[in-house]
């Protein structure tokens, strides 16, 4: 494929995006005067602002390209990532977990671990999160440079440095506030920049029904072929989807990953914080109409003789990530191409800004202030946050070059989440809902969960054990292996934490008030109108989720 040809107006669209985000950084700097402003965006955001940022922090271009490509590869099963693999966890966060997070006035997830358990559990999770965040941030940069080089013909090094410096400037100046602002702008740019692909695809093919008719039957259903892994594109059973993705990976990511939860911490009050993931759940459910639909359109076109549509081939391998850029090249004239490229750029940069703003908070509070300088002043911590932003961006650039030397590094993304987030969810769940879980139980359980997940990954990678031992199936995709490894890591952490807690010293009950459900007085909500209650909106969200799953069964 020839690189997309950009005209003067395309360049103007791209340049206007850079000017707007840099201008935002400068504008917001004057309102960023304290550590709360820098790390928590002043805690003054409405549920709508926090909710859109909560969703957008997860909506990187890597996900857009990857999920469109995965739909081409696995079919409609990829929608599970947006529905059962996200919505129940987001609602659980809003209804059950957010009151403990928000009311304890913590600045980060490791901060909760310090209050509920002890310092060593906080530092262990802080270090793991910082490592994971910088790795993901670097991979994000690497992926962006790869896409821009392949499809727009831009130089690798120039792409990496321009976006890295832009992110360092606007996050460095105003921290989480500018990260949230740009994430919301990115949300609108993604919809306006990419949804037209789906619209024009439907117009060309005729209807959504016709699109589904043209793809293989096993690619056009959600659950009806999940009884037998050999009959669906993802080669997975319903049990793997429900336990691995729907429970462990999903809850591990959406309820404990500070990258997304930090956005809810920026809400102005507890109700807004609880509504943050609930509102986001409605937008999350809409995303398959952008991402999955585009993937199915690409698949349908490739099955249509004479359409002239085929994915790129590299070294005999199909490049699934080329699906979305090829559709942009097919449908977008000058002007719109600039908008499409800007949407991808905005996604990449907002994804990196999200990682960097989460990293600078965890580094400053959970590693620097906790271990290195316990008496740091407010002004010093603000300075440290800015220094951590610049350092984080530089390390990410290094990670991006490191990722470049590993051709299959993208495969490690889900694996990294299963090392860090899956066991952490077991620790959080037990910590919030079981009062007798002890600090030592949490620490050693978390360590056991993280190391076992890493060992399982190595064991399969180097063929010490067969993949089937972990996936309980003779045929399983890499994606299925990630789901199952996450499930085992969660289980090992869960059981180890319980067993060790039975034999180690508990925390005094007085220290658990506001941190554990049974130790916290229930808030009186009898005077709150029905439509103001987060629970009401959570029920509506569940109803929509069930309806979508039944419709596409």
**Interacting residues toward another protein by CB under 8 A:** 7, 9-10, 12-13, 16-17, 20, 24, 27-28, 31, 49, 180-181, 184-185, 188-189, 192, 196, 200, 203-204, 330-336, 338-339, 342
Q: How many residues does the chain have?
A: 553
- Closest to another protein by CB, 31 vs 464, is 31
- Closest to another protein by CB, 275 vs 384, is 275
- Closest to another protein by CB, 342 vs 453, is 342
The CA-atom distances, in angstroms, between 61 and each of 321, 339, 535 are: 11, 14, 32
Torsion of CA 141, 142, 145, 147, to 10 degrees: -110
List % helix, strand, coil for the chain (3-state, nearest 5).
Answer: 75, 0, 20
- Closest to another protein by CB, 203 vs 519, is 203
**Interatomic CA distance for residues 519 and 436, integer angstroms:** 11
3-state secondary structure of 440: helix
- Closest to another protein by CB, 52 vs 384, is 52
State the nearest-atom distance from the C-beta of 386 to another protein, in Å.
Answer: 20
**Interatomic CA distance for residues 211 and 485, integer angstroms:** 34
Residue matched to tokens 């809810």? 264
- Closest to another protein by CB, 16 vs 224, is 16
- Closest to another protein by CB, 31 vs 406, is 31
**Interatomic CA distance for residues 249 and 241, integer angstroms:** 10
Burial of 436 (0-12, 13-18, 19+ CB in 10 A): middle
State the nearest-atom distance from the C-beta of 8 to another protein, in Å.
Answer: 9
State the nearest-atom distance from the C-beta of 266 to another protein, in Å.
Answer: 12
**Interatomic CA distance for residues 140 and 144, integer angstroms:** 6
State the nearest-atom distance from the C-beta of 332 to another protein, in Å.
Answer: 6
State the nearest-atom distance from the C-beta of 388 to another protein, in Å.
Answer: 24
- Closest to another protein by CB, 37 vs 321, is 37
- Closest to another protein by CB, 184 vs 480, is 184
Would you give the distance in Å from CA 138 to the centre of its chain? Answer: 15
3-state secondary structure of 335: coil
State the nearest-atom distance from the C-beta of 446 to another protein, in Å.
Answer: 36
Q: Name which of 225, 226, 232, 219 is nearest 300 in CA terms.
A: 219
State the nearest-atom distance from the C-beta of 20 to another protein, in Å.
Answer: 5
Specify which residues 314 forms β-bridges with. Answer: 317
State the nearest-atom distance from the C-beta of 280 to another protein, in Å.
Answer: 15
How many CB atoms within 10 Å of residue 524?
7
State the nearest-atom distance from the C-beta of 494 to another protein, in Å.
Answer: 40
- What are the DSSP calls for 187-235, one per residue? HHHHHHHHHHHHHHHHHHH--HHHHHHHS-GGGS-SSTTTTSGGGSTT-
């Amino acid at each position: 494929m020839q690189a997309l040809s950009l005209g003067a107006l395309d360049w103007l669209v791209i340049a206007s995006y850079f000017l707007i985000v840099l201008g935002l950084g400068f504008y917001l700097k004057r309102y960023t005067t304290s550590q709360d402003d820098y790390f928590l965006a002043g805690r003054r955001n409405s549920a709508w602002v926090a909710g859109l940022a909560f969703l957008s922090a997860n909506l990187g271009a890597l996900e857009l390209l990857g999920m469109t490509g995965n739909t081409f590869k696995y079919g409609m099963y990829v929608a599970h990532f947006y529905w059962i693999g996200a919505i129940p966890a987001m609602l659980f966060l809003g209804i059950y977990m957010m009151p403990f997070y928000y009311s304890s006035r913590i600045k980060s997830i490791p901060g909760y671990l310090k209050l509920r358990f002890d310092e060593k559990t906080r530092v262990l999770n802080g270090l793991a999160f910082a490592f994971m965040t910088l790795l993901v941030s670097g991979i994000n940069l690497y992926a962006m440079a790869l896409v821009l080089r392949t499809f727009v013909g831009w130089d690798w090094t120039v792409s990496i440095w321009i976006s890295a410096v832009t992110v360092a400037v606007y996050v460095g100046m105003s921290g989480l506030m500018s990260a949230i602002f740009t994430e919301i702008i990115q949300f609108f740019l993604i919809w306006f920049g990419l949804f037209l692909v789906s619209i024009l695809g439907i117009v060309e093919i005729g209807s959504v029904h016709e699109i589904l008719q043209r793809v293989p039957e096993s690619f056009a259903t959600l659950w009806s072929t999940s009884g037998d892994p050999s009959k669906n594109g993802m080669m997975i059973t319903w049990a793997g989807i429900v336990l691995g993705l729907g429970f462990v990976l999903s809850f591990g990511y959406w309820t404990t990953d500070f990258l997304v939860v930090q956005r809810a911490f920026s809400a102005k009050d507890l109700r807004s914080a609880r509504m943050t993931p609930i509102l986001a759940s409605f937008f999350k459910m809409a995303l398959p109409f952008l991402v999955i639909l585009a993937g199915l359109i690409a698949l349908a076109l490739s099955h249509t003789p004479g359409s002239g549509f085929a994915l790129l081939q590299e070294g005999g391998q199909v490049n699934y990530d080329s699906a979305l850029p090829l559709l942009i090249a097919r449908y977008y004239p000058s002007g719109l191409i600039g908008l499409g490229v800007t949407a991808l750029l905005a996604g990449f940069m907002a994804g990196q800004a999200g990682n960097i703003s989460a990293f600078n908070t965890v580094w400053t509070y959970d590693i620097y202030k906790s271990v290195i300088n316990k008496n740091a002043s407010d002004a010093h911590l603000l300075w440290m946050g800015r220094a951590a932003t610049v350092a984080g961006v530089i390390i990410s650039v290094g990670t991006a070059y490191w990722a470049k030397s590993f051709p299959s590094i993208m495969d490690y993304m889900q694996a990294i989440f299963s090392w860090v987030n899956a066991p952490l969810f077991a620790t959080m769940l037990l910590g919030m809902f079981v009062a007798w879980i002890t600090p030592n139980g949490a620490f050693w359980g978390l360590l056991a969960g993280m190391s076992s997940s890493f060992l399982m990954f190595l064991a399969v990678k180097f063929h010490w054990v067969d993949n089937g031992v972990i996936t309980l199936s003779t045929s399983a995709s890499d994606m299925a292996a990630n789901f199952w490894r996450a499930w085992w890591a969660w289980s090992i952490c869960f059981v180890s934490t319980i067993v060790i807690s039975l034999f180690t010293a508990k925390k005094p009950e007085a220290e658990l008030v506001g941190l554990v459900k049974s130790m916290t007085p229930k808030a009186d909500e009898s005077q709150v109108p029905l439509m103001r209650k987060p629970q009401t909106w959570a029920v509506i969200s569940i109803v929509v989720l069930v309806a979508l799953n039944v419709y596409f069964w």
